[in-house]
Every structure is written in structure tokens, then in C-alpha cells.
Structure 1
């Protein structure tokens, strides 16, 4: 195993190389800025700055997706988060994506970034997080996030509610995303209203969102959380057969699919696949929340080229 390299001052980026893969990770949110196989992007590259409006490559914690209206209750205490999705009025994707992480160690094929969070409005716990990237010539990119509560004198007693996802926009290959096929073995999907507030968990066939056998995306716009996962894998492929495969650890019972139609005048060119440990608005529903103590909790994802 290569020895770690001490970093007296955290750089902005660390680039990893293994075989035909190259990945760039960044101090801005501890995020994945790029992932390539040969000369092909597997994720939509980002500049690696703070404040990425589309959350490209971000780590979304201590909650993924939305807390509706930014309000939630825990142990009889009302909490109010900053509204970070003003057009819909929700608190979106946590807050660690918009903080600078510190490089803990790196080698030619690995990087590990860390962050100690402070209590935030609406989230009075302090956390310690680390994200680890490892690039392998055969298996592609393995990406893990470890979190634990860091007790502080002024913090609340008891475990900290927690959820996490990562937010790459995957690129199958040439051509518009409308021509790509997405395969996700999920039996149910969470319907939403016009503000993307969760409504009902229904069979995928009832919602016309059955991706189990693979489905060409076409013009359908998707921004939904899928559950009832029978396997922990998703594949995005072009008609020519190139593509990307994403797998995840057992802690993830949900996957958000976002077909990324930012501008109706342009073809879609990437699809966000976000394996989540909990569904949208889990701080209110309590569904699949992780309760963090001082014991570390690690979850992970793997990405490889097809």
C-alpha cells in the first residue's frame, strides 16, 4: 500500500490516477470534481468551487434532498433551517457541500478529506465527517463518507439525526440523455407535488416510472426518489453500449433520479443518480434516519465505466 503524503497546507484539488481512470477531488465540499475513463467523462465535470448551484459532485449531509419548508421537530423541540431552495421554499441538501474541507492524506490513487462542522441554525449538533476516494484500474472509483457526532458543551444531548447522499451527474457517453437507457431495480417511487413535497409511495408501474428492465429516457422528466430496491445497482447506457454503472452499500434504501432539464432549449446531457440513506423530508417523517452517536458510521458508493 502506498504511504500517505503529509500536506502542510490543504490544496484546492487532488488528482488520482489508476490505469485508464482519472479522478479529481476538491477541498470545496470534499466533492468529486471529475471522473474520466480514457478520454470520456463519466460525470459532468465541475470547477470545484463552493456554491455550485446544481450540486455537481457534492456530498449532501447531514440530510439529502429536502426538508420541507425548512421546519422539523425532534424530541419535542422545533427546529428551523435556512431556506436554501428559495423558489420552492425548502432546505436543500444539508450544508457540508458549501464548506471547505481539509486534506487528511493522499497517495497517487487515494484521497481523504475531513470536516468538523459547527452547530447550525436548525441543526444544533456538531459532526466530524471524512470522505475517502480510492481509484482502482479495474473497479473504478470507490467513494465513502464517514460521520460521527462530536459532543460539545453547548450541544443537545442524544444522537444526531443524519442522512447522506452524493450528487454526481452521470454521463453515459455521446449524444443527448434522451437517447440513453436507465436501469434501476426499484419497485416503488415517491410521488411529489409541484413543490417536490413528498406525497405517496406507489408502485413504479402506477406512476409510469418503471426502470427495472431498463428504459430509454426520452422526453420524460424525472425528479423522484425510488424505493423498494431489489438490487444495489443502477446503469446508464448509450445506444452504442457505452455507459456507467453505480453501486452502493446496504445503508442506502432510496435513489433519487434527476434528469437535469435545466434549460428546455438545450438537450439534456447528464443524469443525477443519488443513492440516499433516507428519503426526502426524512427529518419530518423519520423514515430510515441514521441516529449518529460518537460511533462512526460509514456508507459508500462505487462507479465504473461500461
Structure 2
């Protein structure tokens, strides 16, 4: 039997929720509530486009020029975003994860990032997708199986869908007070700025409002959180929509309006909302005057982060 291009399919169901997880990249291939898409899906026998639904590790977002210095040693990782000359979204997005526990409403998958040029550490990644009445919760745990400390970061890459139409039609509620300014061509971090600074019409969504023609591919921080310590981003279309929530393990969130170019597949069909344990280019944290959130995993140590996607309405 031929293996599908996105790997083994793990179908989950709980109440009105259904999800399908593809083993390649531990990717959320589809997620629906009452038959309504909550994320932009892709086909099982398709090479996953645009990191859609992938689990990002051992870093989310970018390493500028693919170079960084850790423990006094300069490293070079492969450039996977050649147009901008960066290493994008880590090393695990194309690993084939194996199931170690599966029931009708949850699955736990695992894969190992092997030591390699540019990242000479062995990291076991275990992730659980669990459906419940409150939506789909993904938990990612990394364990350093190397004799030396390793840099680490993670996050998901869902493209949220609020309803019919496109990103322009939807309303965004994003409770973040600071945005990471980047260069317009290569998205290299420059520094933090208040969202109500020079361009509030583009960056300030603390009061929910229509996205319109705004184009974003930016990381936000200084997140307002509820009494439970969780941050919530909501994308709505009238009374319906979708939200993603996460705890203090992710002090950053990347928001991308999926600007692929008019007429190109996927153009503004979903809003990427990516909670992150660290900032873009966190492997070069020493370059920046803010806390980039880089996690240093000591030998034998583990780090865990989780997030949940739920229907609204």
C-alpha cells in the first residue's frame, strides 16, 4: 500500500469536532466543528503547503542567515527560505512522527531530531493532539538526549478560518501591546515597538476590528492574559469564528495574513496565528536588547508548551 505524501493519517473525533493529523511534521491537516473548517486544510496526498499546520522545532520562525552562536561556537543550519536567505521553522517539519498512543479522541506522536551539521544535539520530540468539548489541544514536549545543553524553541503553524470569504472580511482580536519591527524585505528583527506607535492602523488590534487590507507577518508580545494566565486570539466572522489560546510557555505569537500574491493558491484564505516559546531569530538572542525567550535545554531536561484551538459560535 502506497504511503500518502503527507504520511500516516490519524483521524480524531469528539462531539462536533473532527481533526486529522498527518504524521509528516506532526501536522494538523484538517480541523472542523460541525463540518465547518476552523483551519485551512490540505489534501492527504499532497505535499503540505506553506508549513500549514506543522509542528515547528527546534525553533519556530527564522534564524537569520541560518547562522548563530551557541556556547561560544558559531553554527550554520541549512537555508530553507532561500528568497530571504534564512533558516525557516526548524528541522522537524519533514520528520515522519510515529504514534505511541492513540484513541478515538487523541493521538501521541514522537520523532527524534538527530545530531547534524549546524545542530549537533539529539532532541526527542513528543506531541499529543487531544480533542475535547473545549476544542483541540496540542502539547509538545522536548527532551534533550545529548550530553551538552541545546537551544530550543517550538510553536504551531495553523492558518485559522473564521468563516467564508477571506482574511479581509474577518475581525481580529489580538491582545498584544508590543510588535516586533522587522526589515520590509527580509523580515530581520529590528526592535520592539508599541502597537499604538507609528502605525496603529496596521498593528493595534487590542480592540477587535476588521482586518481589511492590512498585511502582517509580525511577531507580537506583551500579551494581556486572563485570570488563568492564558492569552487568547480570536478571529471572527459575525457571531462565528475560531480562537487559539495558550499559557505562559509561549510569550510570543506570530500573525501572518497569508499574502501569497493575488491569484496564487492560499492567498489570504487563512490567518496564521502561531504561539511561540521564543521570538524570531531567538537563536541569536544576544543580538537584541529584549528577551527573545530562547530555551536552553540541559542534558536530560525537558520543556513543554501547549495551545488549544476552539470554535466560536
Q: TM-score, normalised by structure 2?
A: 0.89
1:6 aligned partner: none
1:59-208 mapped onto 2 (5 Å cutoff): 59-136=55-132, 138-151=133-146, 157-193=147-183, 194-206=185-197, 207-208=199-200
Shift of 1:52: 2.7
Shift of 1:176: 1.8
Alignment partners' CA distance in 2, 1:23 and 1:300: 17
Q: TM-score, normalised by structure 1?
A: 0.91
Q: 1:64-121 CA deviation, whole Å, 9 max, x = no partner?
A: 1000000000111010010000000000000101111101110010100001121122
Shift of 1:49: 6.3
Alignment partners' CA distance in 2, 1:303 and 1:37: 11
2:293 aligned partner: 288
Shift of 1:158: 2.9
**Partner SS, residue 122 of structure 1:** coil
Gaps of 5+ in 1: 1-10, 152-156
Alignment partners' CA distance in 2, 1:98 and 1:49: 15
Give the aligned length.
Answer: 289
Gaps of 5+ in 2: 1-6, 226-230, 287-291
CA contact (8 A) 1:31 1:48 kept: no
Alignment partners' CA distance in 2, 1:48 and 1:229: 35
Alignment partners' CA distance in 1, 2:296 and 2:224: 25
Give the aligned CA root-mean-square deviation in angstroms: 1.4
Matched, 1:236 2:231: no
Alignment partners' CA distance in 1, 2:43 and 2:297: 32
Aligned counterpart for 1:12 among listed residues 8, 26, 35: 8
Shift of 1:214: 1.1
Aligned counterpart for 2:40 among listed residues 33, 37, 44: 44
**Partner SS, residue 96 of structure 1:** coil
CA contact (8 A) 1:46 1:57 kept: no
Moved over 3 A (4+): 48-51
Shift of 1:50: 8.2
